């Protein structure tokens, strides 16, 4: 069943009897159920051109106890079989001209970064950084499309911290060293819908071992959330057929910046040492100096 048909079941057949504003809100949810997973009530209201209270009244009119209950009902319908790659690719091809695809992609990325910034906040990322900085050792888990983000976090954080473990390979295989995680350690684990089973299993194992778990995912209803001490939410909306990781990358960059910011003289010394050794190994090619005309 298509997602909008599923949501129509939740909204019921009495939508036409509602006030014009409630109908507008109901039709918006029916057409864009995937936006509910990430965007705040205020963001949704702005996109639907209604007041935030309209969604609250809609929930009450549909006999829900409030908007959060309506939101859970919608997410429960769309997350298990979230918009398949083929379905999204078919929709993408209907856009037609290249300029339309181009504009939609960049518009989506800008919106994703803004929504992600509003959904998390500096205090949330700082709390994650504090827990990770205090951990004895840190494992980083990102599988499949999330492996590049895990690698990036491990690589850049490695400029000023050594006891980090990249707990997966590009092939998506968890490293056996992960089984050594224990109380006092921490894990950064990431997955987006459709959620990778091994990433969720790794988070569950870490939580049971007493380690701190920082999850990067796309919804507070993600299966990662129940095993996490901290949940970072990244918007993944895109007109393309595969989820976007632009905002998730922004979260990782913000987290690294927070860690470096609170690292003090020790972090600074380590970053300088790493930079000097990279320079000594002639790792990078210096741009050729241009002569003045």
- In the chain, what are the domains? 3-78 (1.10.10.10), 118-280 (3.40.50.10490)
pTM of the model: 0.72
Q: Which of 242, 200, 241, 204 is nearest to 217 (CA)?
A: 200
Question: Could you give the angle at which helices 20-31 and 52-61 cross, rounded to 10 degrees?
Answer: 90
Mean pLDDT for the stretch of residues 68-93: 68
Mean pLDDT for the stretch of residues 83-95: 72
Per-residue pLDDT reduced to its tens digit, 26-53? 888 877 776 776 678 888 888 888 999 9
CB 36 within 8 A of CB 29: yes
Least confident of 11-20, 202-211, 254-263: 11-20
pLDDT above 70: residue 175: yes
Per-residue pLDDT reduced to its tens digit, 107-129? 888 888 988 888 888 999 999 99
**Mean pLDDT taken over the chain:** 84
Helix (H, G, I), strand (E, B) or coil at 263: coil
Whether cis (ω within 30° of 0) applies to the bond prior to 90 is no
* Tokens linked to 119: 């959904």
Question: Could you give the angle at which helices 147-157 and 246-261 cross, rounded to 10 degrees?
Answer: 20
């Amino acid at each position: 069943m298509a997602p909008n048909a599923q949501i129509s079941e939740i909204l019921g057949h009495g939508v036409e009897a509602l006030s014009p504003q409630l109908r507008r809100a109901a039709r918006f949810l029916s057409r864009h159920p995937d936006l509910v997973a990430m965007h705040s009530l205020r963001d949704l209201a702005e996109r639907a051109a209604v007041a935030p209270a309209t969604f609250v009244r809609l929930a009450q009119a549909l006999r829900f106890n409030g908007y959060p209950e309506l939101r859970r009902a919608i997410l429960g319908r769309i997350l298990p079989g979230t918009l398949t790659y083929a379905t999204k690719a078919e929709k993408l091809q209907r856009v037609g001209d290249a300029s339309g695809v181009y504009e939609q992609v960049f518009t989506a990325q800008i919106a994703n970064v803004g929504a992600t910034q509003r959904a998390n906040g500096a205090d949330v990322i700082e709390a994650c950084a504090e827990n990770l900085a205090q951990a004895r050792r840190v494992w980083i888990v990102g599988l499949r499309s999330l492996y590049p983000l895990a690698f990036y976090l491990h690589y850049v954080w490695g400029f000023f911290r050594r006891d980090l473990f990249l707990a997966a390979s590009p092939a998506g295989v968890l490293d056996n060293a992960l089984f050594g995680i224990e109380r006092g350690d921490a894990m950064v684990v990431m997955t987006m819908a459709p959620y990778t089973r091994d990433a969720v299993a790794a988070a569950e194992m870490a939580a049971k071992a007493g380690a701190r778990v920082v999850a990067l995912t796309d919804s507070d209803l993600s299966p990662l959330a129940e095993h996490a001490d901290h949940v970072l939410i990244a918007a993944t909306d895109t007109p393309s057929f595969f989820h976007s990781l632009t905002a998730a990358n922004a979260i990782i960059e913000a987290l690294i910046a927070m860690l470096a910011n609170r690292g003090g003289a020790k972090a600074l010394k380590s970053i300088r040492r790493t930079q000097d050794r990279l320079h000594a190994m002639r790792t990078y090619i210096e741009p050729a100096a241009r002569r003045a005309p």
